[in-house]
Amino acid sequence: MNPLLYSSRFVFCKAILAVWICFAASIDSHAQILQGPWVDASDAAINKHRKTEVTVIALDRDDRAIKGAKVEITQRRHDFVLGLTLPRTRMPPKDLASLPIYRCLNAIALDRYTDWSIDSPDTVEANARRLSAWQHAIEPIRTSFGRVISADPARNHDRLSLLEPADLRDAVLARIDLAAIFEPHPDDYDLVADLLNQDMVHRKLGRGMLHRMFDRAESRRPKADYAIRVQDGISLQRGREMVLLAQKLEVLQVPYDRVTIEQRFTGQVQPNSIKRMLDEYVAPLPVPATFVGFEVGAASDIAAGLNMETVLRLAFAQPNIDGVFLNGLFANELLEDNAALIDQEGQPTASGKVLDQLFHTHWRSNESGVSDERGNVKARVFTGWYDITATLPDGRVIRTEAYLPSSDRAKLIVLQATKAEGAKKQP
């Protein structure tokens, strides 16, 4: 064997082994193994766009500042949506809130229950039990219905395209009506999908039908969000088409609230390429974007973990992305190789460990401080829901809950000692 070739292979194997060892150590600690200028830039963008200022002030009953109060600001849930597309047959595990990956979830997607392929009465009760169990376990801040109607005839199960225009119109509006009364009531709907593939609605019913669909949906559920759903928007060809579609809908004054991007990543994900496409195709959208059907695969479990951190970092750093709905957790729910987040033994894969450590530890705020002469404790924290406590110098404890949204101004939380807290008894 050529000594140079042998030496090169040896060096390559050592490099791969070193990466694997670093990766294994990282996912057990802080889930950050990637380095370089783009990582530093993503950290800076995340700090800028995903955090907010909070000021906690401790007061006594006479509105005087309390100096020396020990303040704890503990995050319970993220404002950024990390949702799960619910499985059709699996019930949620017990103690879900304490399990890796599950404990990061704060939203659910109903796509596998709302694709209109399960009409037989014997499945309704079982589906209702599963949905209720998942909803109770996750207590979602957002519930997504999924696709209501597709402009691509191949993605409509009852072959709507075979209907005559009048019957097609009635069938489309009937689907919207059914979606509006679905239990549990969703917060958002992908009202029309696949406009980048074909435009059955426009071709058979006219441009005004799109407005009529949105008007009908809003009349049924006026407080819900209604989205346009596209496939593979993070790609060179589809990305440009997605931006042009958004511009066209804006000119037509179609009242959509967001764009949902059905997206899978695989191969060797290049951070600079992904960032460029997010900047060019997602940032210019006039409405927020959400990833749905989200999968990150690769040729190996370790490579998938690397890809997962890359994509999540860049998505979290892009302010116009407001959430990610995972397509599933187990291999039999997913299409991409090595995209599973939980293995057959019920343990997190490399990708699962990365996701859990990022959202449960690395991107989570648990701050503490002691109030100054003005009773103030200031902190910069990730947006979301918090438990806030102040332990006063005399031992009394004041507690409150707060939602801290993104804002240009610091959120003020006032913790005031009252009779309700009482005085701590001296031993």
pLDDT of residue 152: 84
pLDDT for 242 beyond 80: yes
pLDDT of residue 12: 36
How far is 149 from 415, CA to CA, in rounded Å? 49
- Could you give the domains of the chain? 3-43 (no CATH), 80-355 (3.20.20.80)
Q: 181 versus 421: which is more confidently predicted?
A: 181
Phi, psi of 114 (to 5 degrees): -120, 20
Q: Model confidence over 373-396: pLDDT tens digits? A: 999 999 999 999 999 999 999 999
Q: What's the pLDDT band for 21 if we cut at 50, 70, 90?
A: very low
How far is 366 from 353, CA to CA, in rounded Å? 20
pLDDT of residue 3: 42
SS (H, E, C) 273-291: HHHHHHHHHHCCCCCCEEE
Q: 419 versus 253: which is more confidently predicted?
A: 253
pLDDT of residue 220: 96
Q: What's the pLDDT band for 422 if we cut at 50, 70, 90?
A: low
Using CA of residue 323, residue 326, residue 154, residue 282, what is the dihedral sign?
positive
pLDDT of residue 425: 47
In terms of Cα–Cα distance, which of 235, 293, 299 is closest to 267? 299
pLDDT of residue 204: 80
Q: What's the pLDDT band for 27 if we cut at 50, 70, 90?
A: very low
Instruction: Name the least confident of 158-162, 359-363, 384-388.
Output: 158-162
Q: Model confidence over 10-20: pLDDT tens digits? A: 343 334 434 44
Q: Model confidence over 244-270: pLDDT tens digits? A: 999 999 999 999 999 999 999 999 999
Q: Model confidence over 106-159: pLDDT tens digits? A: 999 999 999 865 444 456 788 889 999 999 999 999 999 999 988 888 787 667
pLDDT of residue 35: 81
Q: Model confidence over 389-415: pLDDT tens digits? A: 999 999 999 999 999 999 999 999 999
Q: Write the CB contacts of 371 (distance below 8 Å, at least 6 apart in sequence).
A: 56, 57, 58, 65, 66, 67, 68, 69, 71, 377, 390
Torsion of CA 265, 271, 276, 279, to 10 degrees: 80
Q: Model confidence over 307-350: pLDDT tens digits? A: 999 999 999 999 999 999 999 999 999 999 999 999 999 999 99
SS (H, E, C) the chain: CCHHHHHHHHHHHHHHHHHHHHHHHHHCCCCCCCCCHHHHHHHHHHHHHCEEEEEEEEECCCCCECCCCEEEEEEEEECCEEEEECCCCCCCCCCHHHCCCHHHCCEEECHHHCCCCCCCHHHHHHHHHHHHHHHHHHCCCEEEEEEEEECCHHHCCCCHHHCCHHHHHHHHHHHHHHHHCCCCCCCEEEEEECCCCCCHHHHHHCCHHHHHHHHHHHHHCCCCEEEEEEECCCCHHHHHHHHHHHHHHHHCCCCCCEEEEEEEECCCCCHHHHHHHHHHHHCCCCCCEEEEEEEECCCCHHHHHHHHHHHHHHHHHCCCEEEEEECCCCHHHCCCCCCCCECCCCCECHHHHHHHHHHHHHCCCEEEEECCCCCEEEEEEECEEEEEEEECCCCCEEEEEEEECCCCCCEEEEEECCCCCCCCCCC
Q: What's the pLDDT band for 42 if we cut at 50, 70, 90?
A: very high
Residues 69/370, Cβ–Cβ less than 8 Å: yes
Q: Write the CB contacts of 219 (distance below 8 Å, at least 6 apart in sequence).
A: none
Q: 123 versus 53: which is more confidently predicted?
A: 53
How far is 38 from 40, CA to CA, in rounded Å? 5
Average pLDDT over residues 280-294: 97
Q: What's the pLDDT band for 9 if we cut at 50, 70, 90?
A: very low
* Model pTM above 0.75: yes
Average pLDDT over residues 216-241: 95
pLDDT for 26 beyond 80: no
Share of the chain above pLDDT 90, in %: 75
How far is 210 from 214, CA to CA, in rounded Å? 7
